[in-house]
């Protein structure tokens, strides 16, 4: 009988707690992410999804426990320098610069890794090929989101941290998002996505963050109460 050791998870949240603004967001959380896996973060507004993504990106430190990449604590300087090169980050701030064309806004990402030729196919896949030489101020909200998705493809990084990537996308855009997530995972990539909207991600793990505040009367409750309005 061979006693082969199970492979180390690529990314491991080991008993991680995380604070924001003096409040606990995560408490003793354990998650193992192997190559090709996906984690979906859900929870109410303010529950800490973005904070958790920021922690995984190294902007915030865990208040307890460790985030381990290949078994190494990502907060250690030597490790972080390597770890940050694994990350592709899509945030609500699109950081699209109006001084440059749509193409230039994407190509800048591919040049970070000196891997050329990825931007135009990425823009074409996102349905933006004909707008490549336009200035981004002419783009709609959903088209700007598609530019962000093209950047994910232009920069070849294995760990995707996606903060509400489906916001502003139409049905076709959502299908494209689902397709590129599935394709990235097929190649061994890891995807961690915070979302309020359902995104079809096969065999994903789910982590629902508890609400930050005890539930009082919600806006919906208030709107249901006519006597509150009159
Ligand atoms: N820049 C900041 N400084 C201090 N506290 C912050 C900051 N941004 C957010 N917070 C606090 O951290 C908590 C978690 O916020 P976070 O943005 O992570 O929530 P979220 O789950 O991503 O919410 P949403 O669904 O609205 O995107 C919030 O209660 C908020 O008050
Ligand atoms: Mg958020």
Domains in the chain, CATH or no CATH each? 11-209 (3.40.50.300)
Measured between alpha carbons, how far is 49 from 208 in angstroms, rounded to an integer?
9
Measured between alpha carbons, how far is 224 from 228 in angstroms, rounded to an integer?
9
Give residue 1's pLDDT band: very low, low, confident or very high (50, 70, 90).
Answer: low
Cα of 197 from ligand 1 centre, angstroms: 18
Q: Which of 15-24, 57-66, 87-96, 152-161 has the lowest mean pLDDT?
A: 15-24
Query: Which pairing describes strands 64-69 and 11-20: parallel, antiparallel, or unpaired?
Result: antiparallel
> pLDDT tens-digit profile of 158-205?
999 999 999 999 999 999 999 999 999 999 999 999 999 999 999 999
Predicted local confidence at residue 6, as pLDDT:
76
The phi-psi region of residue 117 (left if phi > 0; otherwise alpha if psi is between -120 and 50; otherwise beta) is left
User: Sheet harboring 38-42: ordered strands across?
Assistant: 87-90, 159-163, 190-194, 38-42, 205-208
**Strand extents, DSSP E, the chain:** 11-20, 23-33, 38-42, 64-69, 72-73, 87-90, 159-163, 190-194, 205-208
Residue range 116-126: mean pLDDT, rounded: 94
Q: What percent of the chain is predicted at pLDDT more than 90? A: 78
Cα of 90 from ligand 2 centre, angstroms: 12
Q: Which residues line ligand 1 (CB under 6 A)?
A: 20-21, 25, 43, 45-51, 212
Atom of ligand 1 minimally distant from the CA of 209 = 21
């Amino acid at each position: 009988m061979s006693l082969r050791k199970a492979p180390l998870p690529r990314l491991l949240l080991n008993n991680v707690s995380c604070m924001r603004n003096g409040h606990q967001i995560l408490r003793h959380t354990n998650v193992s992410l192997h190559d090709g896996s996906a984690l979906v973060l859900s929870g109410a507004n303010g529950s800490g999804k973005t904070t958790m993504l920021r922690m995984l990106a190294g902007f915030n430190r865990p208040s307890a426990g460790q985030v381990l990449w290949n078994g190494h604590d990502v907060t250690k300087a030597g490790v972080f320098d390597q770890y940050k090169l694994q990350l592709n980050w899509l945030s609500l701030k699109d950081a699209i610069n109006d001084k440059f064309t749509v193409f230039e806004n994407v190509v800048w990402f591919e040049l970070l890794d000196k891997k050329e030729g990825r931007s135009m196919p990425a823009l074409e896949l996102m349905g933006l090929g004909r707008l490549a030489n336009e200035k981004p101020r002419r783009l709609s909200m959903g088209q700007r989101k598609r530019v962000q998705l093209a950047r994910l493809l232009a920069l070849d990084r294995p760990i995707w941290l996606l903060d509400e990537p489906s916001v502003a996308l139409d049905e076709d855009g959502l299908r494209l998002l689902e397709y590129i997530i599935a394709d990235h995972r097929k190649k061994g990539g890891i995807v961690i996505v915070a979302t309020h909207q359902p995104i079809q991600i096969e065999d994903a793990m789910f982590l629902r963050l508890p609400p930050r505040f005890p539930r009082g009367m919600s806006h919906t409750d208030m709107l249901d109460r006519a006597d509150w309005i009159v």
